Amino acid sequence: MNVLVIGNGGREHAIVAALAKSPKVGKIYCMKGNAGIAELAECVDVDYMDNAAVCDWVDAHKDVEYTVVAPDDPLAAGLVDALEARGHRAFGPSKAAAQIEASKSFAKGLMKKYGIPTAAYEVFTDYDKALAYVRGGKFPVVLKADGLALGKGVLICETLAEAEAGLKQIMLDKAFGAAGNTLVVEEFLTGKEFTPGEEVSVLCFTYGKTIVTMLTSCDHTRAQDGDKGLNTGGMGTFTPCPFYTKEIADEVREKILLPTVAAMNAEGRPFKGVLYCGLMRTPEGMKVVEYNARFGDPETQVVLPMLKTDLLTIFEAITDGRLADIDIEWESGACVCVVLASGGYPQHYEKGKAITVGDLGDAFLYHAGTKRENGVLKTNGGRVLNVCAKGKTVAEARKKAYAAAANIDFEGKQFRSDIGIKYNSGV
């Protein structure tokens, strides 16, 4: 079966690499892809935010039997709906279901209505009202642009001055465009052991009934070591999460996963695809920080390499409502991903810097923002390369990943040095 993958980042490279291992997969196309993906798939230069253009291309390529829509923006724009309306099989949630990520106010309202544990919040469309609310509140406080903002539309404000600046940035200056027309002001959740960042990413396969969780992972979203600096799309991740016990998994399934899927069904928005739950371990139990309507990035880069079951088989089972009929198996051990980013990311950065790749040892690369010009590999985005490695333990995997990262060079290269050592867990 020939497959089309939508997207051009590290997540998509990981998906393409997993599909390339499937004996069921023939040729892979990717729209638009990157330099790394081009080694495994034929890259197609079509704007994947143009539903009609994508559908026309699939119509014209009769050999393509299945399309995987990976990024948040085309899902929110209803690309899966458009493809299915043309009679094409596609993986991913509908536009209505993707609202669980595309609108933070919708997601918070859903959780409030159905009793799913999350942080207390208020929603504002008026800047002055939001400002008055923040001035009367306590700190830290979290400001979230309502819409999609490439993972950067969340500001954690330690002081009133930071909150006032953040409100201006989101609601007046439109730093995140229309995503900031509506603002969610949220309480800052503290970890169970009163340490910052006790978060876990739980990705699930589901078709609105059966839910199968993947390996848990821990993302590092802030730009600098020690979870300092601006929010990014993710600077690295590792699996498994050291504190995610069977007891916690059972709690999450009963209080968050099953109620979320049931809530979406009740709202007439059945969810079919990958549901991502960003969770915080708090003194009151596990709470939802955010939902995503797709594979996480860079969580996918550590989860999929550990998958033993054929990925296309899983995708088709979800599309056909047969997820309960298959067993999904995972490798034991750990995997670590270190993101190499352009200098200045997540703010201003330059592209077109030549990349040299030396000895990677046992590590492997997923390309994020890369291109090839006249045979030369160059930077083409904020997050450039994902350096990944597997090991028996997180410690072993991170040693391999960082050894490989040291042998990759480009002007302005920046990365965090503390991926995989969260929670002082000894991993």
Which of residues 96, 129, 161 is at a domain's end? 96
* 309 in the same domain as 340: no
* 76 in the same domain as 9: yes
* 43 in the same domain as 20: yes
* 370 in the same domain as 317: no
* 39 in the same domain as 143: no
pLDDT at 190: 79
* 206 in the same domain as 298: yes
- Please tell me the total number of residues recorded for the chain in this structure: 427
- Tell me 146's DSSP state: S
- The domain in which residue 246 lies consists of 199-325
Which of residues 306, 325, 344 is at a domain's end? 325
pLDDT at 137: 87
CATH of the domain at 180: 3.30.1490.20
Q: Structurally, how many domains does the chain consist of?
A: 4
Q: Which residue has the tokens 């399934």?
A: 253
* 86 in the same domain as 23: yes
d(CA 127, CA 132): 9
pLDDT at 153: 84
pLDDT at 154: 87
pTM, full prediction: 0.93
Residue stretches of the chain with pLDDT short of 70? 151, 192-197, 423-427
Domain membership of residue 193 (yes or no) is no
* 313 in the same domain as 213: yes
CB 40 within 8 A of CB 68: no
CATH of the domain at 226: 3.30.470.20
d(CA 209, CA 258): 9
d(CA 70, CA 314): 15
91 forms beta bridges with: 68
* 392 in the same domain as 346: yes
pLDDT at 424: 54
Domain membership of residue 375 (yes or no) is yes
pLDDT at 426: 43
* 298 in the same domain as 342: no
* 238 in the same domain as 292: yes
pLDDT at 39: 98
d(CA 200, CA 205): 17
Which of residues 63, 96, 129 is at a domain's end? 96
pLDDT at 197: 57
* 180 in the same domain as 207: no
d(CA 311, CA 305): 11
DSSP of 229-245? EEE-S-SEEEES-TT--
